[in-house]
Structure 1
Amino acid sequence: MGILKLRKNKKFSYTPRTYDDKGEGNPFEIKHKFDQYRKTVGPNKGIKGKFIDAFDDYKNNPDHQASKRVLIIIGILVLVFLFIIDFDLSIFLPK
C-alpha cells in the first residue's frame, strides 16, 4: 500500500430479495399480498367506519359458500354462549 494512495471503497450491486424488478415502491416495505384489494386495511377509523367497511367487504364477497359458512359458525358460537350462561331456550319454542 502506498502512503499517498487512498483506499477505494468496495461497491456491491445488491438488490433485496423482496424487491420487484419494476422498481415500484420501497424495496424495504413489507406489505401483505392482498392488502391492495381490501377496504379494511388502511388508516385508523372509528368503530363505525370499521363495521361499515367490514360489512361492505362481506356483502361484495363473490364466494357465497364462505358467507354461509361464516353465518353457521356465528350461529353455533351464539348457541354455545347461550348454553354457557344457562339461558332458557324454551321461550323460543311454541307451547
Structure 2
Amino acid sequence: MSIFKTRQNKKFSYTPRYYKGEENPFEIKHKFEEHRKTVGKVGLKGKFENAWDDYKNSPDASVKKRTLIIIGILVFIFLLIIGFDLSIFFPKG
C-alpha cells in the first residue's frame, strides 16, 4: 500500500441480457442529436451559424411569428424597466 497510488476501479465485461442493438447501450447521447446540427462540439461562431441555418430552413412557418412576438414582448419589458415614456405609442383621446 503506497500513499501516492490511487486504487484502480474494477472493470467488468457486462452485456445486457435483452439488448439486441448494434450500438453501445451505455453511450449517452443528446436527445436531438440525429435531428439538428447545433448539438455538436463546434465553436461559438459555428453554433450561431448552425442555429441560424436551422431557423431559416425550419419547416414550421409559425417559428418566425413566434420569435417576433417573443422579441416584441422582451423589448416592451425592457422599455418598462428603463422608464421609457410609452405614451407615444398610444393615441391621445
1:23 aligns with 2:22: yes
Contact 1:16-1:27 at 8 Å conserved across structures: no
Question: TM-score scaled to structure 2, two decimals?
Answer: 0.64
Change (3 A) 1:80 1:33: same
Question: TM-score scaled to structure 1, two decimals?
Answer: 0.63
Match runs of 1:54-69 below 5 Å: 54-69=51-66
- Paired positions, count: 76
1:83: Cα distance to partner?
1.2
Amino acid at match of 2:68: L
- Poorly superposed stretches of 4+, deviation over 4 Å: none
Q: Where do 5+ consecutive residues of structure 2 fail to align?
A: 1-13
Q: Choose between structure 1 and 2 for higher RCO, CA contacts under 8 A separated by at least 6 residues.
A: 1
Whose Rg is larger? 1
Q: 1:52 aligns with which of 49, 59, 62?
A: 49
1:16: Cα distance to partner?
7.1
Contact 2:38-2:51 at 8 Å conserved across structures: yes
Identity in percent: 61
